[in-house]
Chain A
Amino acid sequence: DAKTTQPNSMESNEEEPVHLPCNHSTISGTDYIHWYRQLPSQGPEYVIHGLTSNVNNRMASLAIAEDRKSSTLILHRATLRDAAVYYCILRNAGTALIFGKGTTLSVSS
């Protein structure tokens, strides 16, 4: 499975934008880039996913590099409820999500 590399932790202030980076230099042409987040004692929550083009939804934006070897999850205005572990995962058709260690995001008021 193609792997991703994320910083262990990041800090942000409330109401500021947050850019969470992810490197995936061995991504294949059929891998989709998925982002999930997990709050303590809860199951993961889907955030966003994309293949080649940048994507926006109500939760976040996903910026994908032109060579697809890296991507950035953008939270436009962080809130305290955004404090979670964020996972960047590559998913091929029909396969399970394989979780790495993710990035622990802390948000301060």
Chain B
Amino acid sequence: GAVVSQHPSWVICKSGTSVKIECRSLDFQATTMFWYRQFPKQSLMLMATSNEGSKATYEQGVEKDKFLINHASLTLSTLTVTSAHPEDSSFYICSASPGTTTGELFFGEGSRLTVL
């Protein structure tokens, strides 16, 4: 099946620094990618929809200036957590679909962020 890759798999940073997470579709082009975060023992929460060449659409309650999303090409979307704080520590996951709008979505392996 199609492959979505995230990098890094895990990152530890100091409070106040910024962290960038990359999401790549390795064998297909993705006009739209989705970003989720997941806290321990909870379900995935949709953060934003990333559209190639345009601004991302954020879900209610998600700070767009805190979580910067860039979708500069059809195979790459990035999520930058700016001025990270311990409460931003979470598991961040991206997903994308290779084609049909009603078909399956493929997910990255996830990126675990720990802010000290």
Contact = CB atoms under 8 A, between A and B. Distances in A.
Interface stretch (A15-23, A40-48, A66-74, A76-84): A40-48
Nearest to A98: B46
Interface in A7-62: 32, 34, 36, 38, 41-46, 49, 51
A44 B43 CA distance: 11
Interface residues of A, number: 24
A97 B34 contact: yes
A41 B102 contact: no
A3 interface: no
A83 B104 CA distance: 21
Interface residues of B, number: 25
Contacts of B112: 41
Given A97-B95, A102-B43, A43 B108 contact: yes
A66 B108 CA distance: 34
Given A41-B110, A42-B110, A43-B110, A94 B32 contact: yes
16 contacts: A34-B105, A42-B109, A43-B6, A43-B107, A43-B108, A43-B110, A44-B107, A46-B1, A46-B104, A46-B105, A46-B107, A49-B104, A97-B105, A99-B36, A99-B44, A102-B43
